[in-house]
A = this chain, B = another copy of it.
Amino acid sequence: MTDMTIGKVADVVGVGVETIRFYERRKLIEQPPRPREGGYRIYSDTTVKRLHFIRRAQELGFSLREIAELLALRDAESNQADASDVRQRAMAKLHDVDQKIDQLRRIRQGLAALVDCCPGQGPLQCCSIFDALEQNAGPTGGPIISEETDMQTIRLSIGGMHCGGCEEIVRHVLEQQTGVKGCSVSHESGEARVAVDESRISDEQLAEAVRGAGYSANIMNTTE
């Protein structure tokens, strides 16, 4: 039974005393009864095991909430809960982890590309990293994080704009279209970025509207 006080348990498991109390508040482990007439609480080996379980599961990427569920599953032993349930959760987590790895790999590619194309010396104005990051679709070849909203950003390549006035005209034309929530136009880059609800207007319709104002327009890509 190896009776221990909270500090010993913390040392053995490798967490702080406060962390154990925190887990108690979160109902991940139960607080041992205090001996009557005061004194220190005695922690059993079962609790130590439970703590090891929590730490290992955390290392495997389970959140405290998920761990609580796993533990509850076990505590309700001899119920209908069986091993397939646990296995399912582990597999779901495996899938999560795979997705995270994929995402990080994409991030890695983006970063590597940035590092590669940066001269690594000279004034900041020559640093291509800043330039790359200012584009709304950057070197990774698309957005890494997708939004769950209906809003999309459509990029148009526009020819024939020579000044701020042209910008103004194009902007006005775009903003008059159904489903357009906003846009930014630059005659320097020859681009427009349009925030739009794609269920209400297509990118081709947008391009057509711009052409109707006397400019050329091509769809560059879609953020979705």
Contacts and interface: CB of A to CB of B under 8 A. Distances in A.
Interface of A: 1-2, 4, 7-14, 45, 48-49, 52-53, 55-57, 59-61, 73-74, 77-78, 81-84, 86-87, 90-91, 93-94, 97-98, 100-101, 104-105, 107-108, 110-112, 114-115, 118-127, 129-130, 132-136, 138, 140, 143-145, 147, 151, 153, 164, 167, 171, 181-186, 193-195, 223
Nearest to A13: B136
- The main secondary structure of chain A at its interface with chain B is helix
20 contacts: A4-B184, A8-B183, A8-B195, A12-B183, A13-B136, A45-B184, A45-B186, A52-B133, A57-B133, A59-B107, A60-B114, A60-B133, A61-B107, A77-B125, A83-B129, A84-B120, A86-B118, A97-B111, A98-B108, A104-B104
